[in-house]
């Protein structure tokens, strides 16, 4: 199964690390993750958004591994942040996760998430 990610030439290129379009083969099984927050494997939630962001991506990786899904098969990611984070750290963590083939993404700043101490939530969709 091959997921096709592209940036059509008839629109402006992406303004960040994402693909405008992702095409999923018709026989693929969808794997949809609930929004992941930045707690660690022991359930501890750090206070800074950068660590929460890294942990949330790690949680997504772990869940996908448990389902036998490779990160290259992630085709849609939605980010929700309650505050700005260090851009260099964001790009570093996101580049490690997206592995040069970034999926379609949406990033939004919101006033609050499920609890006041949660600063980031990431939802991911993949195919297998």
Q: Which domains are present in the chain?
A: 28-127 (3.30.1330.40)
49's CB contacts (< 8 A; 6+ apart) are 38, 81, 82, 83, 84, 85, 119, 120
Report the alpha-carbon distance of residue 57 to residue 90 in Å, rounded: 11
108 pLDDT band, cuts 50/70/90, is very high
Give the pLDDT score at 1.
73
Give the pLDDT score at 16.
83
Q: Which two tokens stand for residue 94?
A: 């996101």
Q: Which two tokens stand for residue 63?
A: 């869940």
60's CB contacts (< 8 A; 6+ apart) are 33, 36, 74, 97, 122, 124
Of 86, 105, 121, 111, nearest to 18 (Cα)? 105
pLDDT tens for each residue of 11-50: 999 988 889 998 999 999 999 999 999 999 999 999 999 9
pLDDT tens for each residue of 76-103: 999 999 999 999 999 999 999 997 778 9
Q: What's this model's pTM, rounded to 2 decimal places?
A: 0.89
Report the alpha-carbon distance of residue 128 to residue 125 in Å, rounded: 10
Percent of the chain with pLDDT over 70: 100
Give the pLDDT score at 99.
79
In this structure, what is the dihedral angle of CA atoms 17, 22, 25, 28, given to the nearest 10 degrees?
60
Q: Mean pLDDT over residues 56-83, rounded?
A: 96
């Amino acid at each position: 199964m091959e997921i096709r990610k592209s940036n059509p030439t008839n629109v402006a290129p992406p303004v960040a690390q994402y693909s405008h379009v992702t095409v999923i083969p018709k026989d693929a099984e969808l794997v949809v993750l609930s929004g992941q927050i930045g707690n660690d494997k022991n359930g501890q939630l750090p206070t800074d958004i950068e660590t929460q962001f890294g942990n949330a991506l790690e949680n997504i990786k772990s869940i996908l591994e448990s389902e036998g899904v490779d990160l290259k098969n992630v085709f849609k990611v939605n980010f929700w942040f309650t505050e700005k984070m260090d851009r260099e750290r964001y790009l570093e963590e996101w580049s490690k996760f997206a592995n040069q083939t970034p999926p379609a993404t949406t990033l939004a700043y919101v006033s609050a998430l499920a609890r006041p101490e949660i600063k980031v939530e990431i939802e991911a969709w993949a195919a297998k």
